[in-house]
Amino acid sequence: MKLVERFGLAALHRLDPERAHDLSIRALSAGLVPLPGQPVTSERLRTRLAGLELANPIGLAAGYDKNGKAVAPLMRAGFGFIELGAATPRPQPGNPRPRLFRLTPNGAIINRFGFNNDGAQVIAARLAGRPRGIPVGLNIGANKDSADRAADFAAVVDVAGASADFLTVNVSSPNTERLRDLQGADALTALLRGVVEARDRLPSHRPVFLKIAPDLSDAEIGDIAKVASDCRVDGIIATNTTLSREGLAGPHAGQAGGLSGRPLFERSTIVLAKLYRATDATVPIIGVGGVSSVDDAWEKIRAGASAVQIYSALIYQGFSLVGRIARGLDERLRETGTTLDGLCGTGAADWAQR
């Protein structure tokens, strides 16, 4: 970590977490954050994910740049792909503040934002104006007060789908009441069919991913695997934040919302591995949840991930973490004489049995 990044993170951590988050977006947009410009890449790191060509398998998870205000600089931060949003059909303010909490000793955060965003139309315009470069996806959600939440997902695709390189159906956020009910087999089938139909109306193909929760039973994982296959989903993102508070301590440990960061790593990786086995490795999986080092990324891939995403760790380690993980993966692949495809799923059986 460079000295300027260290001082910047220290200054941000002296502020309210949401104010610090907003300032980091402004600093990126103003060109005040040192960025590598190009992703770390090599023949070992280059990979293909649901038709998307990635320079490396390290992505930015949704939630950091909800509104696409810093899409151009984020494309220069070293990621192989990035995901923005979540976007809903209409703008909404989200839940009351405070709604973001650092759990520094745990390397974690709790958020209960509630899909605060500028709305699909505004976000689509920002995405459409981005420079060419790495794949940029859009996480899509439903308005809190919608009478038909399933229809909201297709509505976002109609408005913003053509502006993104991939689309992620987010039915797993814990911060919109009863949203996770849409993960049930029947409801999820109807929702995904609507999204896929809307996607198929776009001028060109866009992969559709499904983002799932970590708080699922084995039976629910099996149902999701079947639905994803039946509905022609192009990939699954495992996982979103958790409602669990196991092992946490400190003044914010009991805050309501979704927990992300280091405490989520084991549970999300177990779900990933079970999903990999439930789909018979036929659906690409993006592993997210607690990735903060090259070791974590390596284990996600061993558990069955074709690529990984990070977010919470950036709050504590900065954007230089992206390059460190990519270079570390490249070196380890070289040392072991393997490939990303060859590594993927080799530890799934072990992880699934934990």
Question: b vs e for 320-334, b when ≥16 Cβ sit within 10 Å of the residue's Cβ?
Answer: bbbbbbbbbbbebbe
Q: What token pair was written down for 335?
A: 């040392």
From the candidates 146, 163, 172, 173, give the one annotated as an active-site residue.
173
How far is C-alpha 27 from the geometric centre of its chain's CA atoms?
22
Angle between helices 218-230 and 185-200 (to 10 degrees): 30
**237, β-bridge pairs:** 211, 286
Contact by Cβ (8 Å): 24, 12: yes
The 3 state secondary structure assigned to 198-222 is HHHCCCCCCCEEEEECCCCCHHHHH
Known catalytic membership, residue 173: yes
Active site residues: 173
